[in-house]
Structure 1
């Protein structure tokens, strides 16, 4: 059976500090995992959709751990390959003090960076409803960039919606430099149907913080839908030749872990579109998903089920549907 959403990219093992303070003083770690694309795939699975994630992991115990865990979350991992030429990537999460989390990546030359267009299952892409991509994969290596553009080509040939979250990682730009990375991200965005940057990312990419200007620049390239996230305040949405506006974020009194919230939000938007909701309604649903994610530790632990999202919206708004205004 074909998946509703196909995605691909790097997922790493996360070693989260078991106590606060600089890592030099930390003696124990909790083992978790996270990766933008697999986070979205898991988020969609929890929301009741069929998702498929492709990647390369090291031929090591960490690689086996990732496949086992992501498959256990209901994601199709049949197209993840073990690669003997490089290890699975790692990252460490440090908690200096409440509200001050830092992340250190050990991913250079990881197995996922050797992903190529030949690792793509073109038949799965051709049969899916949405192909979801991020800018992280595009910055991992030249072979990953080639795979991104090949996947878009296949999707376009089969009328598959292409979703793109720039998900900027400035530490990955060394190989290309900022200008080169900016051009690559913009080139991918121009070929997508749905683009979902954060407001700061949009400004870095297009030189303006005016959301309507950013949307118009993307529409001129052929993009059909734009969603711009502005942290805990609101999300802007616009359709090419159609409606646009802002959807307020849900108020969260205590943020436990903000990492992964954007991936949850992306899963929420895609879920809404799969359910034939309007873009506005999809963004409203996604805002609730994001709010629930930041209320829990870890990248994927807080990803909610559909019933949890609907209950949360009802509790916050006093009804079971509609858009927060």
Structure 2
């Protein structure tokens, strides 16, 4: 999507300037992976408009292998971030009938999934339209048939769903076919139907019972809990002075997947995940703060000036 962002705290009704960029969970993750040195192919649909051109241009500039269908009959989706206070952000979506919502299984080229190391999808696409949901399910089925691992980030967006039960059912369908599932604590409760008495570890075990052998619960400032092949792991967050948390979850997933693809052990995957997540919180924007691999040590060094 295109992204308009208020730079200062105020109601949008009184904001006079907005910064133009791009955003979206899948794009954020893809850029973060590319910056960490992982080759990435991105599949999506944009409108035949200047905003669509901006989206594709930015993704290509970040080194992604872009498979972008340009739709002449629909506009590029838009989101606007309203910074009502210095600590809170409200996101407004304008996606109904957008080019992205018209994604179809035919937009995913033959062989693209079958030749991949891993397929990553999110719950956002499931909410956009019937055709977008069909595209996700088709992609997952193709990955399964080819023996390609499937990564699923729930990424629940309440404003895109009219029914929580429908959202939960859709998430469970994909989670049952996934190799790994990422979720925030509230998303995990939605996915499993668990009440507030269930612990985070209970939530991870309930998700694992659906089928995935790797479950990661993102806990923000409290780090994360991972259940990998039945073994529980915990990782503390990297403390930072937060500017904007949007994109931090996507960065976390990217850090984990980059190390997974590289064949690194769980502990290293988790350390990189919380580090990339912390980096994403340091700057405004959804993806601009994603780190390069050589920058990962910056948050752990004592000397603030490098010479």
Query: How far off is 1:210 after superposition?
Result: 2.0
The one of 137, 146, 152 aligned to 2:134: 146
- SS in structure 2 of the partner of residue 123 of structure 1: coil
Hey, what does 2:54 align to over in structure 1? 65
Could you say if the C-alpha distance between residues 187 and 315 of structure 1 is closer, same or farther in structure 2, counting changes exceeding 3 Å? farther
SS of residue matched to 2:291: coil
Q: How many angstroms does 1:275 deviate by?
A: 1.6
Q: Of residues 204, 210, 215 in structure 1, which corresponds to 2:199? A: 210
Alignment partner of 2:16: what SS? Answer: coil
Aligned to 2:122: 134
Q: Give the aligned length.
A: 300
After superposition, what is the alpha-carbon deviation per residue over 1:132-179, rounded to whole angstroms, capped at 9, x for unaligned? 0100001101111111111111111111110000000001112xx111
CA contact (8 A) 1:227 1:236 kept: yes
TM (norm. structure 2) is 0.94
Q: Is the 8 A contact 2:175 2:211 kept in 1?
A: no
> 2:158 aligned to 164, 170, 177, which one?
170
Distance 1:205 1:284 in 2: 26
Question: Structure 1, residues 237-277: CA drift from partner, whole Å, max 9, x if none?
Answer: 11123x2121111111x210100000101100101101211
Matched, 1:27 2:16: yes
8 Å Cα contact 2:214-2:226 kept in structure 1: yes
Any conservation in 2 of the 1:237–1:280 contact (CA below 8 Å)?
no
1:314: Cα distance to partner? 4.9
Q: CA deviation at 1:87?
A: 0.4
What is the alpha-carbon root mean square deviation over aligned residues? Answer: 1.4
The answer (yes or no) to whether the contact 2:11–2:82 under 8 Å persists in 1 is yes
CA distance in 2, matches of 1:278, 1:222: 21
- Confirm or deny that 1:86 pairs with 2:74: yes
TM-score by length of 1: 0.89
Structure 1 position 97 matched with structure 2 position 85: yes
Q: Which whole-Å CA distance do the structure 2 matches of 1:185 and 1:315 have between them? A: 42
Q: Paired residue for 2:104?
A: 116
Q: d(CA) in 1 for partners of 2:300 and 2:258?
A: 16
Task: Tell me by how many angstroms 1:213 deviates.
Answer: 2.3
Aligned to 1:45: 34
Gaps of 5+ in 2: none
| Between 23-32 and 217-226, the greater mean CA deviation after superposition | 217-226
In the other structure, the counterpart of 2:185 is 199
Q: After superposition, give the CA deviation of every residue in 1:197-242 in whole Å (9 maximum; x if it has no partner).
A: 011110122114423322322333321111101111120011123x
**Who is 2:171 aligned against?**
185
Distance 2:275 2:221 in 1: 11
For the 8 Å contact 1:247–1:283, the answer to whether it is kept is: yes
User: Contact between 1:196 and 1:227, CA under 8 Å: does it hold in 2?
Assistant: yes
The 2-side partners of 1:205 and 1:53 are apart by 26
Summarize deviations over 1:94-124 as a string: whole Å, max 9, x none: 1122112211111111101000111112301
